[in-house]
Amino acid sequence: MWFRKQEVKAPGIVGMSLQDSGVALCYGLMEAGEFLIKAVEYAPITGAEQISYVKGWVARHRLKNADCVFVLNEDDYELELLEAPPVDDAELKQAVKWKLKDLIQMPIDKAAIDVFRLPDDAYRGRMKMLYAVAADKDIVEQRLRFIRRCDLTPAVVDIPEMSLRNICMHLPEMEHGTVALLDMKESQGAMMMYSHDALYLTRQIEMGYSSFAAQPGGFSLDNGVMVERLSLDLQRSLDYYESQLGKGIANRIYLLPLEEESVHFTDDLQPSIATPIMNFDARECLPFEDNVNPSVGEQAYCLTVMGAVLRGSSYAAG
């Protein structure tokens, strides 16, 4: 009898994200009890060329068949905050599905649903809440096929809010308080607030860094109206977190790296916000191998895939 030879799976975990402008990749491995990020790369490769590029990257790093965590883009899913139905975890997704059908844009029968509960102390324990994720099944299947064609093994499909949580776990403020992340894209933004090991709040901001363009190709925050608008949005999130969720005051706000490196506005915002605002640099807190040194520009595209591999320390254990 002939037996098919079992393919060897490379150790470690790969994080991947496909973006309109390119592909973000990361690789992490547990070595001698310590998890290290061993490679980070952003390549401005689009369209059909992405598969061949990723396959080459996988081959160069000897990662064939390694587990892959794929991080969806913001346009690939919808996230809703809901009161948790009074059912067991085994029945939760089905119960949430019927709550979602009138809230999301896609037909409910075409949505892949996942849920994660907020901790018991959220909303002062008055009610049990959860976040529900609805992603287009066709998009999820396309991503799974892409992973397999790149000689990787699909392990998890993640969303940025949860991937960034893994990064927050490496910030000292998380152990005893709250960290807020401000993620500004070109035309929109988001404020996410984490405490201990959980996401408690995410709120959309209806403006992006392009709102601060003083002239074509140039960026500035001299426009006091835009600064005031953004600071009000941030303060509303901070106030809601304190008053409604009952979680107290955020220890710090981290502005995540921007895709447009010429934009700088932490100094402009700080006078309007009591909470300290800092520019985030992953090199100051994440466990990179000595020769891995992603620039702030690279981090703007790769933070979510870094967070994806950082689940490797717990994921590898089961």
Would you state the CATH architecture of domain 76-135?
Answer: 2-Layer Sandwich (3.30)
Under CATH, what is the fold of the domain 173-284?
Nucleotidyltransferase; domain 5 (3.30.420)
3-state secondary structure of 100: helix
pLDDT of residue 212: 67
User: Considering all CA atoms of the chain, what is the largest pairwise distance in Å, rounded to the nearest integer?
Assistant: 77
pLDDT of residue 266: 83
Cβ-proximal residues to 111 (8 Å cutoff; 6+ apart), any chain: 97, 100, 104, 134, 135, 136, 137
Cβ-proximal residues to 34 (8 Å cutoff; 6+ apart), any chain: 287
pLDDT of residue 32: 84
Question: Are the CB atoms for 65 and 11 separated by under 8 Å?
Answer: no
Q: Where are the domains of the chain?
A: 13-73+140-164+286-315, 76-135, 173-284
The sheet carrying 22-31 orders its strands as 34-43, 22-31, 13-19, 67-71, 153-158
Fold match between 13-73+140-164+286-315 and 76-135? Answer: yes
The strand pair at 153-158 and 67-71 is best described as parallel
pLDDT of residue 1: 45
How far is the C-alpha of 208 from the C-alpha of 187, rounded, in Å? 4
pLDDT of residue 316: 38
How far is the C-alpha of 19 from the C-alpha of 145, rounded, in Å? 16
What is the residue-level pLDDT of the chain in tens, covering all 318 positions? Answer: 444 445 788 899 999 999 889 999 999 999 888 999 999 999 999 988 999 999 999 999 999 999 999 999 999 999 999 999 999 988 999 999 988 988 999 999 999 999 999 998 998 878 899 999 999 999 999 999 999 999 999 999 999 999 999 999 999 888 778 999 999 988 889 999 999 889 999 999 988 887 765 544 444 545 677 788 899 999 999 999 998 888 888 889 999 999 887 777 788 888 989 999 999 999 999 999 999 999 999 999 999 999 999 986 554 333
Structure tokens given for 167: 């990064």
pLDDT of residue 223: 62
Structure tokens given for 160: 């940025």
Superfamily of domain 13-73+140-164+286-315: ATPase, nucleotide binding domain (3.30.420.40)
pLDDT of residue 218: 46
Closest CA to 203 of 238, 166, 168, 159: 238
- Sole residue written with tokens 């607030």: 193
Distance from chain centroid for Cα 190: 11
